[in-house]
Structure 1
């Protein structure tokens, strides 16, 4: 099953989600990330955080949803709402869920405060991904309404 983790810039949250998902994924599950308006780079703090967590950063880059290497089965948007950010709407017949996370790229303050914002985004995403993988996924693949309900429930979890 292919999961697309989608946001606007594809430099922080969606990259954190993609790398964490793939790090934890059982066989047969894969995530890709993309942005509707890709920044063109991965935020260095995202890469540093992933490396500190023991998650490979190899091959991750900011990319557009126009050139996906796979067709997604599930799309998870991770756009936040504090800045009035609008999530991109992927067109196509696919299951969608929203797991909003505030964008740490907009964090201000000391280095410690900015790092804390990145860590908070990572912890929320990791908690949600772990909750997803704790589901009976083989059963849910054949029960789309139940899968959608679980995805929506997980999107409300905090770290």
Structure 2
């Protein structure tokens, strides 16, 4: 910049006497000014276009942000509702499971008790069968003794048949 100023000063000293040179300089400076103003206008228009585009983009992004925030709030609300419903369902299912487990435990205890009772009845039945068989055996032995005694006591009477003794003795 300093060099340009020095150059202008030296040129101005040389050109003091010539109006045509000043006019030419004036025209050059005027032309440069007009070019500068034109390029400034073009740049300003480009910047205004960019500004308008940027403002539109900002407006679109703000609108998108607003929609996203509303959707986010809606999704939060739905998530809260679903979480609440799920928690209630889980609690209900856990309660039902506990009830079923209690019923299952009670039934298991009842089944064990019934199985023990059944085993006791089976043992008693087997013991009864053994007792009945022992009694039948003793009865048969007694019948045989009675038949022998009757045959020895009364040889003149016809001995009764075994079937009639068994039936009458029973």
- Report the TM-score when normalising by structure 1: 0.19
Higher RCO (C-alpha 8 Å, min separation 6): 1
Bigger fraction of residues in helix: 2
Bigger fraction of residues in strand: 1
- Report the TM-score when normalising by structure 2: 0.18
